[in-house]
Copies of this chain bind each other. A is one copy, B any other.
């Protein structure tokens, strides 16, 4: 995991490498707080380097975003595997949703990458292919145990997360925690108990669900 040379690129001079790390760190902080919409000038200023330096070191904004969020997205994927290690299938499912949303809560840029409001097309498409099967396993296990409503489909999961993440975004500046109320409501609506309502429509197909994400990506 050599920080600089991703692909056989010539080694950077010490000062350049330091600036690279400072830019990366600044981007982490600024993207997390203000989203991917910020311009590189702001990030460079926050890092204490010139704009040109940031551009020379990363090429463009998208490359910086990709480099920065690769690990963050992978961490999200790992949650699904962790969830499977929890004994109680329902608790596993709850943990998956809760922990994923907690990750998203802390980082506006990550929300935008994951739900493709900007940037990360290829980045996310790939993560998605790793995430969905794992999440699917968590879901099925809870459904087989009769704890998660059986009419739920894999494609519902991203949309449920998105729905709650919207509340996070909306309420963040006023309260960092109210979103948990709505997660609670949703989880209660997913937990099997007598008298659950029949679903009024079928879920999206996998292809449709991918289409949703890519459509919302093409805005940028």
Interface residues of chain A, those whose CB is within 8 Å of chain B, are 115, 149, 156, 159-160, 162-164, 166-167, 170-171, 173-175, 177-178, 180-182, 184-191, 193-201, 203-204, 208, 211-212, 215-216
Contacts and interface: CB of A to CB of B under 8 A. Distances in A.
Contacts of A215: 173-174
Given A164-B163, A208-B175, A197 B189 contact: no
B159 A170 contact: yes
A200 B184 contact: yes
A95 to B, nearest CB: 14
Protomer copies: 2
Given A170-B216, A178-B201, 19 more contacts: A115-B170, A159-B167, A159-B182, A160-B185, A162-B167, A162-B170, A171-B204, A173-B212, A174-B208, A174-B211, A174-B212, A174-B215, A175-B204, A181-B201, A185-B186, A185-B189, A188-B196, A189-B189, A193-B195
